[in-house]
A and B are shown apart, each in its own frame.
Chain A
Amino acid sequence: MSRNAVEWKQTPSFPESHYVDTRIYTEEDIFLDEQRKIFNKCWIIACHESEIPNAYDYRTFSHPGGPPLIVIRGEDMQVRTFYNICPHRGNTLLYEPVGNAKRITCIFHAWSFNATGDCIDISRGKEGYQDRFGCKDAGLREVKTELGFGGFVWVNVDDDSCTLKEYIGEAMGMLDEHLNEPLEVFHYHKAIVNTNYKLWHDTNSEFYHDYMHYFNRITGMIQPGYFDRKYTGYPNGHASVGSMAIKYDAYEGSKARGVGWPGLAPGGWVLIDIFPGMTYNLRTSVLRMDTAIPLGPNKLLIEFRGLGLKRDTPEERAERIRDHNMIWGPFGRNLHEDLLGVHGQGLAMRERTDSKWVIHGREENMTIHDEGGMRHFYAEWSRRMGRKAYDPYGEQAAVAK
């Protein structure tokens, strides 16, 4: 039976943990709050170590909390991160996404910095600042940086944050033994979609949407073991999904994957969601990493990386690339569908469309179509935000009083 306006807005008859108010996806003030309370407090993946293999190699990164960053490997081979902002007149220091810079010189007034963030030259400094200001006062703002969990470069702009190891806790347990070897990024692309970042992370946190993917229905959902896969939640909002054997040759034109992954059973598939927007997706022969970078409440940039083993032979690498692109490339069978899905959510939920609730109510003993992964995320989101995802402006609480 269809519903009228009042019925449409009635609170869903689920526990409060099982639905959210769609304003958490659309409101500017909530997005700004997320930047402060979530993105500027959490560890975020900026790049992979294989993207900056040599001394003085750098990579730029737009941090989802706001600051533009430079990730650079020093002469001592240590990776450090700095704001990509000249402390003089606020200009961008490095423009290219990647490069090698023994000396970082601002094009504006030629102030120079080294790979440890020290200011090493202020042009005509003595003449202009005399003894009032010098290089010792003009270092770059450094950001906490750690390498780990598959060689990714993690950054945290909160100087008082916990360590990366403490932040991840036990969440990477299912992948630990599969990430012991050096990895290498072979695929990188970005997508910008008019949607909220949480909706993308939701898609990576529930498999009920396999109904959208013909490939996954044929190779997974109708195969043995699919409904045995289970979600496990971990502190700090992370979650994992257990493996099964994907039957790749069930899809016409596809075949069983010949190249495997160290320690992973043939056809295996392990997925780990890291709060607030990163996903490790190890699917038989390829590790995919998604990094969600919100550009606004209804605008999302996603970085997609595909990784293989650094020791791959050219033949193995070519096979991993084909496996990756079959489903996850920009022309792949699945990625396009996932992006269409969240694009549609963005269309339907944008401000003033009168969308009201999103339901996370499926309970199937935390197996593959249970929506516990999303519930786990929103419990952490609510804790960090000091807002209830189901009642972000405290209206229900006020009425109850």
Chain B
Amino acid sequence: MDTRTAITELIHRSGLIMDRCDFKGYLDLCAPEYQYRITTYSPEIRKDMTWLEHDKAGMKSLFDNLHRHNSDKSPISRHINVCLVDIDDAAEEAEVTSTIQVFRTTLDGGETELFAVGKLYDKVAFGQGGPALRSRNVRLDTRLLGYGYHIPF
């Protein structure tokens, strides 16, 4: 598999794994230095906002605590479309830009609604072990998320 294909598959796999709530599997896709953020821009206060920010240990802690909280149990589905893969061979890194749409499906009846749209800005390290997520910025266009969600996108 060529590097570009492997990177594209990694990004898509990260969404599918999170859809299954396989959090260990998700963390296995991440490099040790992994940084995760959810960001957006508020036209109302004319400021960039960071809504969630964790390193790999912080993400693990977030996942480990989920079962202790009262959460919306509706499954969500992340539809990711990889648009750009800019490979820097010298740095053994790629910058990947994808679009993401998140849908939420009710448990009672299975009605699906669009939950959020945005972009993923990922940095991917590629070494001998294959590509790994080095950082992810989920840049949301959607800011009205109703009662929100406990699980990151």
A188 touches B44 (CB 8 A): yes
Cross-chain pairs A/B with CB under 8 angstroms, 26 sampled: A97-B43, A98-B44, A98-B46, A186-B45, A186-B47, A187-B42, A187-B45, A188-B42, A188-B44, A188-B49, A189-B144, A191-B145, A212-B70, A251-B65, A321-B49, A330-B51, A330-B145, A331-B51, A331-B148, A333-B69, A333-B150, A336-B72, A336-B147, A336-B150, A337-B71, A341-B70
Interface residues on B, range: 20 to 34
- The closest CB in chain B to the CB of A194 belongs to B146
For the A-B complex, the count of residue pairs with Cβ-Cβ distances under 8 Å equals 104
Chain A residues with CB under 8 Å of B147's CB are 191, 193, 336, 339-340, 343
Distance in angstroms from B140 CB to nearest chain A CB is 9
CB pair B70 A340 closer than 8 Å: yes
Tell whether A322 pairs with B38 under 8 Å between CB atoms, given A98-B45, A191-B147, A192-B146: no
- Report chain A residues within 8 Å CB of B86: none
A214 at the interface (CB under 8 A from B): yes
Interface string of B37-77 (1 = CB under 8 A from A): 01000111111011111000110011011001111100000
Complex contact A253–B65 (CB within 8 A): yes
Cβ-closest 5 pairs across A and B: A253-B61, A339-B147, A336-B148, A214-B68, A330-B148
> Which residue, of B38, B147, B150, has the highest number of chain A Cβ atoms within 10 A?
B147
Does A340 contact B42, Cβ atoms closer than 8 Å? no
Contact A331 B65 (CB under 8 A): no
**B115-153: which residues lie under 8 A (CB-CB) from chain A?**
143-150, 152
Annotate A303-339 by CB proximity to B: 1 below 8 A, 0 otherwise: 0000000000000000001100100011111011101
Whether B50 contacts A325 by the Cβ 8 Å rule is yes
What is the chain A residue whose CB lies nearest that of B47?
Answer: A186
A interface: dominant SS: mixed
Task: Tell me which of B44, B52, B64, B149 contacts A325 (CB under 8 A).
Answer: B52
Asked if A383 lies at the interface with its beta carbon under 8 angstroms from chain B, I say no
Given A185-B45, A340-B70, A325-B148 contact (CB < 8 Å)? no
Q: Given the complex, which residues of A lie within 8 Å of B148, measured CB to CB?
A: 191, 330-332, 335-336, 339
The count of chain A contact residues (Cβ–Cβ below 8 Å) is 36
Complex interface: chain A residues within 8 A of B42 (CB): 187-189
Separation of A329 and B49 alpha carbons in the complex (Å): 10
Chain A residues whose C-beta falls within 8 Å of the C-beta of B146 in the assembled complex:
191-193, 339, 343
The listed residue with most B CB atoms (<10 A of its CB), out of A59, A215, A253, A333, is: A253
Is there an interface contact between A51 and B65, defined as CB atoms closer than 8 Å? Answer: no
Cβ–Cβ contact B50 & A333, under 8 A: no
Residue of B nearest to A322 (CB): B53
Q: Which of B45, B68, B152 is in CB contact (< 8 Å) with A188?
A: B45
Which residues of B have CB within 8 Å of A395? none
**Chain A contacts for B72, CB-based, 8 A:** 336, 340
Which of A186, A189, A339, A343 has the most CB atoms of chain B within a 10 A radius of its CB? A189
Tell me if A336 and B44 are in contact (CB < 8 A). Answer: no
The reply to whether the CB of A166 lies closer than 8 angstroms to some CB of chain B is: no
CA distance A321 to B69 in the complex (A): 22
Chain A residues near B71: list those with CB within 8 A: 336-337, 340
Query: A214 to B69, Cβ gap below 8 A?
Result: yes
Give chain B nearest CB distance to A211 CB in angstroms: 10
Q: Pick the contact of A214 from B45, B47, B65, B152 — CB < 8 Å? A: B65
Report the minimal beta-carbon distance from B81 to chain A, rounded to whole angstroms: 23
By a CB distance below 8 angstroms, the chain A residues around B68 are 214
Beyond A335-B148, A337-B70, whether A329 also contacts B51 by CB under 8 A is yes
Minimum distance in angstroms from A347 CB to a CB of chain B: 11
Instruction: List the A side residues contacting B145 at CB < 8 Å.
Output: 189, 191, 330
Determine how close the nearest CB of chain A comes to the CB of B59; give it in whole angstroms: 9
